[in-house]
Structure 1
């Protein structure tokens, strides 16, 4: 990769990271590309070199956040014994939450957005995670894999709410 191409890729990643932070902090609808540009220490027009619209920036940010979860879960699935699979997935998700909270908060916002493209991106992410977990539970011989996968996803959603509302007691059980 040429130096300018690498710089361009790095700039794009910086813009996405800045957008995730700004969208998570002030909300997607209230956030402006000017705020994202300021956070990324670039000019506002530079954002549009990479993203045609604020919505396309959001969609990319959501895809990045889903990719992180999916790749992290893949690594756990490759290295876990069937007995520890669910526990290690839970620990990995808690790790993602701790390190990438803004991505989780952004996903939570996106779940309530009615734009078709945003709903499709969210459905795609949830579907891939669900299928990955369900298939892993089946292969591990976990009893009632559909129910366990549903409960795993539900626990993740509850953990998201607990973190967002600063209510750790919701995660005690």
Structure 2
């Protein structure tokens, strides 16, 4: 029997469930995930997940918010103190690549954006994307053309990483060329990170 001091707080349990949900929603998508699957991944009971989050839709919404908060925190931590070190875009891009080494983060974000027309999930996805835009504009100080390039390149990178096209680069010349024109000399490093 565990003592009271062995128990984790409700906030810690909530974070544990959200972290498990990022992995599960990332792997199975919204349609392929159940609250039971998330509960098993978190090592707790399904009724507890439902008690904390309600429906699967609300669990996904909270998971998407959790992932977006992580993304924004990662970007904020990468803002340069000394502009001589690297450009803001380079720092943000590097931070993003480190973050999406966790495939669950990458795929949860993509699943959320793909559900943009859903009446419950769509507003959260759109608001999250706009939060990223505002952070790039207001906090990172990027100009409109820099924001456009950063977001466009980011979506291309997301697509390449999510589809696993880099895996095909070893045997498909077109896949290799696409990876090369996207990542340049860093293609090997990106492929190593994506497969880690």
TM-score by length of 2: 0.76
The Cα offsets for residues 52-111 of structure 1, whole Å up to 9 and x where unpaired, read as: 11111101111111111111111222525176211111111111111x321210111122
Q: If you compute each CA radius of gyration, which structure gives the higher value, 1 or 2?
A: 2
For 2:82 and 2:34, locate their aligned partners in 1 and report how far apart those are by CA, in whole Å. Answer: 42
Shift of 1:128: 1.2
**Aligned-pair Cα RMSD in Å:** 2.2
- 2:161 corresponds, among 160, 163, 172, to 163
For 2:32 and 2:14, locate their aligned partners in 1 and report how far apart those are by CA, in whole Å. Answer: 22
Shift of 1:157: 0.8
The size of the alignment, in residue pairs, is 166
Gaps of 5+ in 1: none
- What is the aligned partner in structure 2 of residue 72 from structure 1? 74
- 1:46 corresponds, among 45, 48, 58, to 48
1:171 match: secondary structure: helix
The Cα offsets for residues 5-50 of structure 1, whole Å up to 9 and x where unpaired, read as: 9522221111111211111111111211111111111111111121
| Structure 1 outlier segments of 4+, above 6 Å | none
For 2:5 and 2:112, locate their aligned partners in 1 and report how far apart those are by CA, in whole Å. Answer: 35
**Equivalent residues in 2 for 1:29-44, closer than 5 Å:** 29-44=31-46
Gaps of 5+ in 2: 167-178, 185-196
TM-score by length of 1: 0.85
- What is the aligned partner in structure 2 of residue 146 from structure 1? 144
- What is the aligned partner in structure 2 of residue 106 from structure 1? 108
